[in-house]
Amino acid sequence: MTLSLCQLNSLWGIMLRLVVFISGGGTNLQALIDAIQAGQLEAQIALVVSNRKDAHGLERAQRAGIEALYFPLKPFTEGGQTRVEYDAALAERLQPYTPDLIVLAGWMHIFTSAFLDVVSKPVINLHPALPGQFAGVNSIQRAFAAFQRGEVDHSGVMMHYVIPEVDAGDVVVMEEVPLEADDTLETFTARMHAAEHRLIVEAVRQHILPSAGT
């Protein structure tokens, strides 16, 4: 029997272990799952985390046989605890999964240093804008509105390292997405999502390559 490179890496114990955070539909999570299952990405997803119980990404994880964790903020805030305490508790829950890399794939929560310092592993975030542009939420809609006002002719997608400041960490990979004269919000959004799916896989691959010779 001939084993694929991904299977051999798994046997040798060098498969990159991911924890993926989602808050919604999970299409970017699915891009990772598809790349792994196709043997295109030498990684395994140890856990999927969501802060929303109705996130469709949880169903995607279940279909792929990946363990999932629903970890909402509301019980903490209603119990008088802070976002910092939530972050610390969530970081602690990840410890048994020994992730090599944490991927925020549509995670709608800004992590504080209480999380980032405890996990002590790289945390990368997918953001549908270029560095210094449209930080925060609704970036695609804001870029399209700016295009309609004649202020921009392109936007883009980046994967960046997470720091406590919003969408401000060093860039891992990015891709420019032009805005066309006949674009609607729907057509522009579709091209942005396609770029997201490419970049999230490439950003994970970038974290595999340095260890290939170890």
Judged on CB neighbours under 10 Å (0-12, 13-18, 19+), 28 is buried
Give per-residue pLDDT as tens, 45-69: 999 999 999 999 999 999 999 999 9
3-state secondary structure of 171: strand
Tens of pLDDT, residues 25-45? 999 999 999 999 999 999 999
Q: Give the amino acid at 111.
A: F
Element (H, E) at 36: helix 27-37
Q: Is 127 a known active-site residue?
A: yes
Given 56, 109, 127, 154, the catalytic residue: 127
State the CATH class of domain 14-130+155-178+192-211.
alpha beta
Beta strands of the chain (E only): which ranges? 16-22, 43-50, 68-70, 101-104, 123-127, 154-161, 171-178
Query: Looking at residue 209, what is its pLDDT?
Result: 58
Q: Point out the residues of the chain with pLDDT beneath 50.
A: 1-13, 211-214
For 177-201, b/e burial (b = at least 16 CB within 10 A) is bebeeebeeeebbebbbebbbebbb
Indicate the domain borders of the chain: 14-130+155-178+192-211
